[in-house]
Amino acid sequence: MTKFSDLDLDPKVLKAVEEAGYTTPTPIQAGAIPAALQGRDVLGIAQTGTGKTASFTLPMITMLGKGRARARMPRSLVLAPTRELAAQVAENFDTYAKYTKLTKALLIGGVSFKEQDQLIDKGVDVLIATPGRLLDHFERGKLLLTGVQIMVVDEADRMLDMGFIPDIERIFSLTPFTRQTLFFSATMASEIERITNTFLSAPEKIEVARQATASETIEQGVVMFRASRKDRQAAEKREVLRRLIDGEGDKCTNAIVFCNRKIDVDIVAKSLKKHGYDAAPIHGDLDQSQRTRTLEEFREGKLRFLVASDVAARGLDVPAVSHVFNFDVPSHSEDYVHRIGRTGRAGRDGKAMMICVPSDEKNLEDIEKLIDKPIPRIESPLKSAPAPEEASEEQEKKPRRPRSRKPAEKKAEQPAEPQPQEAHAEPQAQKAEQPKPEPQKDEKRGRRGKSDKGGKRDDNVVGMGDHLPRFIAMSFEERRAS
């Protein structure tokens, strides 16, 4: 069996790896590290949680051991799709490079430009960045990429999903064509394949697992849920989630709950806290300091439930996540693999459970087609109506309309009193039987009226219809009397 000591790494790097508690490389590490140390381009395809970060961090530190960085000209560049993933790469670099003198800078949003500019001005060996913030610095004239010797693109398929591919292509064009490129992805979409064919030169391809497969150590299940009423679906889904959590008992030491929309992340986190669960949200709209603090609390075990959007689905290394709950079926089938990959890491057992409503069944079919096996069905734990406070929570969001009562309902509420009603109905009947008085015709007007088709005079006043108001007739009579 291959060991890290067999991979020709720098002794200082090996010492740091041993202190971190690792002796045997994962398959992606065993395949990528030797090729990278030879100076070859590398195309690594592996499911999440297989150690891709160390696959490029360890050879980079070894190769950058000689040489010195110049101001505003980093010697290597690592691109990551999210702030959290970029920060995680930086942590790995600190862990494995602690016995070297290499320097690094982290360029992500939510942090002052001034602090980042100061680091770049000193010169850094490793620049770790998200594409948008990197280009911001470049366009401000604070950064040159002509000195990049090694370029790494991590989670390339996530870059594609987030619309970063045009930025990636532009960044490639700003670096020397003689650079060494290490390209890592969990899946191999056609657009990713096009980029690798364009920017990688005869790469060493390491594929350690079939594309878009879930780890065999993860137990999967899905609840096919149908709400009692459409307007209660969200509240009842939250009730299902709580009962699934309760059903796992002590086995659920901590968990990530994934939602498709940021607004649902906040609602689900608030609902869980309301019912006594230790939960907090994390998504792209939150302040970076809050996101970092929440993630640290979850890693340290101070927070039990992390409610997240897909910003947390890729690359975040929290080794001991016991469960993943998909509150929503992901819209993109590949995201399902990355979401459940947060559990069952490093050979541990994990469990992933999902709630599927009728409108999500098509997405569920796409996921099962992608992973090439059906997801076992779980019986819905919801046997009764949702908790009253949950139902009222939904109703509070909708404006209440006054309910109009039907006459029959009013009669049912009040006891009937036949005698007064009959006495009251009698004058109404008499009033209905009385013949309507015929309007008095003005003889003068009748003689002058125009004849209709039948030869009869039209005694109506023009514009008044068939009925002549009494007060108008009175005015005519007064005039004739005078």
Going by pLDDT thresholds of 50, 70 and 90, the confidence category of residue 401 is low
Domain end call among 391, 414, 432 = 391
Number of DSSP helices (H) and strands (E) in the chain, helices first = 19, 14
In a domain, 212, yes or no: no
How much is the pLDDT for 64?
94
Report the alpha-carbon distance of residue 422 to residue 446 in Å, rounded.
45
Residues 6+ apart with CB under 8 A from 7: 25, 30, 33, 34, 37, 58
Report the alpha-carbon distance of residue 2 to residue 27 in Å, rounded.
10
Residues 228 and 183 in one domain: no
How much is the pLDDT for 370?
87
Q: What is the CA radius of gyration of the chain?
A: 38
Residues 88 and 166 in one domain: yes
Give the lowest-confidence range in 222-231, 357-366, 448-457: 448-457
Return the closest-CA partner of residue 375 out of 419, 329, 416: 329
Whether 47 contacts 215, CB under 8 Å: yes
Residues 6+ apart with CB under 8 A from 251: 322, 323, 351
Going by pLDDT thresholds of 50, 70 and 90, the confidence category of residue 277 is very high
Report the alpha-carbon distance of residue 185 to residue 369 in Å, rounded.
20
In a domain, 98, yes or no: yes
Q: Answer yes or no: is pLDDT of 56 > 50.
A: yes
Report the alpha-carbon distance of residue 231 to residue 183 in Å, rounded.
46
Number of structural domains in the chain: 2
Residue 214 Cα distances to 112, 312, 351, angstroms: 38, 17, 11
Percent of the chain past pLDDT 70, that is, above it, reads 76
Question: Which tens digit of pLDDT belongs to each residue from 126-184?
Answer: 999 999 999 999 999 999 999 999 999 998 888 887 789 999 999 999 999 999 999 99
Residues 227 and 152 in one domain: no
Going by pLDDT thresholds of 50, 70 and 90, the confidence category of residue 312 is low
Model pTM score: 0.62
In a domain, 146, yes or no: yes
Question: Which tens digit of pLDDT belongs to each residue from 420-434?
Answer: 444 444 444 444 445
Three-state secondary structure call for residue 270: helix
How much is the pLDDT for 332?
83
Whether 281 contacts 269, CB under 8 Å: yes
Q: Answer yes or no: is pLDDT of 410 > 50.
A: no
Which residues are paired to 104 by β-bridges?
126
In a domain, 443, yes or no: no
Residues 122 and 195 in one domain: yes
Domain end call among 140, 173, 207 = 207
In a domain, 437, yes or no: no
Question: Which stretch of DSSP H or E encloses residue 76?
Answer: strand 76-79
How much is the pLDDT for 422?
44
216: which DSSP letter? T
Going by pLDDT thresholds of 50, 70 and 90, the confidence category of residue 96 is very high
Segment 362-373 shows an average pLDDT of 92
Tokens standing for 101?
Answer: 């003198």
Residues 185 and 281 in one domain: no
Going by pLDDT thresholds of 50, 70 and 90, the confidence category of residue 207 is confident
Query: Where do we find the tokens 């390491």?
Result: 206
Whether 222 contacts 364, CB under 8 Å: yes
Three-state secondary structure call for residue 220: strand
Residues 163 and 255 in one domain: no
Residues 82 and 31 in one domain: yes
How much is the pLDDT for 436?
52
Return the closest-CA partner of residue 75 out of 172, 203, 180, 184: 180
Domain containing 243 equals 218-391
How much is the pLDDT for 345?
74
Question: Which tens digit of pLDDT belongs to each residue from 101-131?
Answer: 999 999 998 788 888 999 899 899 999 999 9
How many CB atoms sit inside 10 A of residue 313's CB?
A: 26
Three-state secondary structure call for residue 400: coil
In a domain, 164, yes or no: yes
Domain end call among 148, 180, 207 = 207
Question: Which tens digit of pLDDT belongs to each residue from 191-205?
Answer: 888 999 999 999 999
Segment 395-414 shows an average pLDDT of 48
Going by pLDDT thresholds of 50, 70 and 90, the confidence category of residue 435 is low
Which residues are paired to 259 by β-bridges?
none
How much is the pLDDT for 208?
80
Whether 149 contacts 73, CB under 8 Å: no
428: which DSSP letter? H
CATH of residue 96's domain is 3.40.50.300
Residues 19 and 48 in one domain: yes
Q: What is the mean pLDDT of the chain?
A: 81
Tokens standing for 437?
Answer: 């008085």
In a domain, 109, yes or no: yes
Give the lowest-confidence range in 61-65, 315-319, 397-401: 397-401
Report the alpha-carbon distance of residue 278 to residue 269 in Å, rounded.
9
Residues 258 and 189 in one domain: no
Residues 145 and 233 in one domain: no
Segment 222-249 shows an average pLDDT of 94
In a domain, 405, yes or no: no
Report the alpha-carbon distance of residue 344 to residue 49 in Å, rounded.
8
Report the alpha-carbon distance of residue 56 to residue 46 in Å, rounded.
13
Q: Answer yes or no: is pLDDT of 386 > 80.
A: no
Residues 29 and 69 in one domain: yes
Report the alpha-carbon distance of residue 147 to residue 8 in Å, rounded.
25
Residues 194 and 251 in one domain: no
